[in-house]
Structures are given as C-alpha cells and as structure tokens.
Amino acid sequence: MPAAAQKGDPARMVDIAHPEEVVKLLQSEGYKAELKKHEDSGEPYISSAANGSPFTIEFYDCGTAKGCTSMQFFSWYKKKPWYDAGLANRWNAKKRFLRIVIDKDGDLSTWMDATTIGKVSYANFADTIDWWSSMTGDLFTFLDEEEKAAGGKK
C-alpha cells in the first residue's frame, strides 16, 4: 500500500461522488485543492497540482442528489515541436492508467478516469491519487527522454 494511503484510516469509506468531499480528501493527503465551476456548463472541478504541475479533477453527470457519476484527472501541456502521434502511441502502448493525446494544435493532454458511484475505502482513494502522481512523474521522465531523442528541439 502506498504511504499516502496510510495517512487516514484505510478502511474508512468515503463518498467521492461529491466534489466537496474530494477537496477535503485531497487536502488530507497534503495536496492543495480548490473547488471551482466551469463558466459554460456549471459542472464542478477541482484545481490542484502534483510534481510541480497543475492538474484538474473534472466531475461528470452531477445533476442528482447522489452526486457525480465519474471524475477525470486532467492536465494539459503547451505544444512542443517533438509532440506527435508517435509520441502518444509510444506512451499509450506501455501505460495503462494514464493516457495521453496530442490535439489538433499540437498540445499534449493527459487524463485518468475513475468512477464515483458508491463509496470507496480511503485507501482506494489515496491509491488513486498516488497513481496519478506517480504516473505524471513517469510522464515527465518519458517526455525528457523523448526531447533528448528528438535532438533537444524546443
């Protein structure tokens, strides 16, 4: 079990369908977390950071009193000359939980989805956060290696 999962009672059940609860859980794990709403849709999201890089947790289908049905950890990185479909394919072929895509503008997006229906153990939630943090760290290492292989194009 990752160290993060040991901070709270690992067996305690938490309801991650409610963004306000997720903010508290993130903060208990030592992350900054600010609850916001998208101006266009009104859907909630959390602004946070890991490994020195900002990310959001987007919530979906939040129209019921039971809360939201899913959430997505998401980060976006500005275009680099060596970002291409091959880069995304090399990453995605080897990584299961954190996916990347290069959009039509050449920017890189990365995400990890999770369902929020039903309660989960605190240990499960902490492990999910740990996966995001670990995988984004792996992504930064991968991108550094890819940049070197591309001849350091900036």
Can you name the residues that pair with 74 across neighbouring β-strands?
Answer: 56, 111
**pLDDT average, residue stretch 114-132:** 93
Q: Are 5 and 12 in contact (CB under 8 A)?
A: no
Q: State pLDDT tens for residues 12-41.
A: 899 999 999 999 999 999 999 999 999 998
3-state secondary structure of 10: coil
Q: Work out the angle at residue 127's Cα, subtended by the Cα atoms of residues 124 and 133, and round it to the nearest 5 degrees.
A: 150
Backbone angles phi, psi at 73, to 5 degrees: -80, 135
What is the C-alpha separation between 53 and 50, in angstroms, rounded? 5
Look at residue 2 and tell me whether its pLDDT is greater than 60. no
Domains of the chain: 13-149 (3.30.1460.70)
Look at residue 8 and tell me whether its pLDDT is greater than 90. no
Backbone angles phi, psi at 54, to 5 degrees: -70, 150
Q: Are 70 and 115 in contact (CB under 8 A)?
A: yes
Give this prediction's pTM. 0.87
pLDDT of residue 55: 97
DSSP code of residue 56: E
